[in-house]
Amino acid sequence: MTTEIWLVTEGEHTKATVYGPVGMPDFPEFVWKQDDERVHIDGWNELYQLLCTKNPVGLTPAYVDERLVEVLKHWLLTEAEGEDSELRMWIDQIVDTDPDEVMAARWICRARHVMVVTGAGMSTESNLPDFRSKDGWWRNIDPVTVATVEALEKQYELFHAFYQARLEALYEAEPHQGHNILAKWEEVGVVSGIATQNVDGLHTAAGSEQVHELHGSIHSIRCYSCGQEAELHAFHEGRGCDSCDGKLRPGVVLFGEMLPQKAWDEALKQIEQADVVLVIGTSLEVYPANQLPWMTRGRTVYMNMELNADASAFDAVITGKAKEVLTKLDKKLELYCANN
């Protein structure tokens, strides 16, 4: 009984064929034929090496035996060189997944600095309501009336109740697998930092260290009048500032306030240096954080449940929940980029 494994690529002037009617499926022998050149290949490793040397990306894949898929996936994710459009064509023909997902994994594999920008969608799987999606609880409360300096000054009771409820919701929340993956990627040197619009502290809780909180942190309490820091429990008890009896507030950026300069500057610096920017779970509606993805010279990847008009401006778009998408990417990296 013979085994046939085929990779046939067809281009305008050249044709590469791998075929091998001999050997066992797990240790096949192939012949690589390109133009008039014939090369005998002994095993998957040699085939992989040949793919790297010959780099047939410019050719059109016509037929690929499914037993070649694994070695081709590995090659496409790591070594293959070519225009994005050519690589996408190969992925489309060969790998039974979303080309954008494979391209994103490929860029992360090869990147020196990956920067991450996260929004509310990053936290929804930690049982936190997302403010802008259909089920977000801000649908019932207009944020412009509560998360504002005006509410803090003139409707302190409502302001206080709103942030107390948000803090209480946080006690139930824990980082999910997606947060953990980003923390792990930082630990192994893939991710250089995270700029987040979230004030919940979940990235830090998961172990990420380079976290730039663009909208501040809900956990730090200070006096609105004199700026002195206060304990969280003082805020919960509805007390005033110890020094001046001023109103206590969480350290979040309210509508109408400036972003913390240091967090912004550091995020921007890392984004400018990044080879890849991953934008996760944000509808990109809030200025100026929504400008960050466009301040890189690197590739941009958008991951969100719902796509908006800006999505087409990204180099790759992956639809899905943060946890699911990051888990899928992480699995690809572990399988194919272990030595990276």
Binding-site residues for Zn(2+)? 223, 226, 241, 244
Nearer to Zn ion, 62 or 234 (CB): 234
Q: CA–CA separation, 13 vs 15, rounded Å?
A: 7
Size of the site for Zn ion (CB under 5 A): 8
Sheet holding 216-223, edge to edge: 229-230, 216-223, 248-252
Which one from 113, 176, 212, 215 is the annotated catalytic residue?
215
CA–CA separation, 252 vs 238, rounded Å?
17
Q: Quote the DSSP letter at residue 121.
A: G
Confirm whether 160 is a catalytic residue: no
For residue 239, the minimal CB distance to Zn ion (Å) is 11
The whole-angstrom separation of Cα 97 and Cα 87 is 13
Cα–Cα distances in angstroms (integers) from residue 252 to residues 136, 152, 198, 200, in the given order: 19, 12, 9, 10
CB of 245 to Zn ion, least distance (A): 7
Q: Are 226 and 243 in contact (CB under 8 A)?
A: yes
Q: Which of residues 206-265 bind Zn ion (CB under 5 A)?
A: 223, 225-226, 228, 241, 243-244, 246
Least distance (Å) from Zn ion to the CB of residue 221?
Answer: 11
Task: Considering the complex, state which of residue 52 and residue 244 has its C-beta at the smaller distance from Zn ion.
Answer: 244
Q: Minimum distance from CB of 222 to Zn ion (Å)?
A: 8
Toward Zn ion, which CB reaches closer, 241 or 279? 241
Among residues 216 and 246, whose Cβ is nearest to Zn ion? 246
CA 130 vs. chain centroid, Å, equals 18
Longest dimension (CA), the chain: 89
By the rule CB under 5 A, 295 interacts with Zn ion: no
CB 75 within 8 A of CB 94: no
The residues that touch Zn ion, with contacts defined as CB under 5 A, are 223, 225-226, 228, 241, 243-244, 246
List, by residue number, the catalytic residues: 215
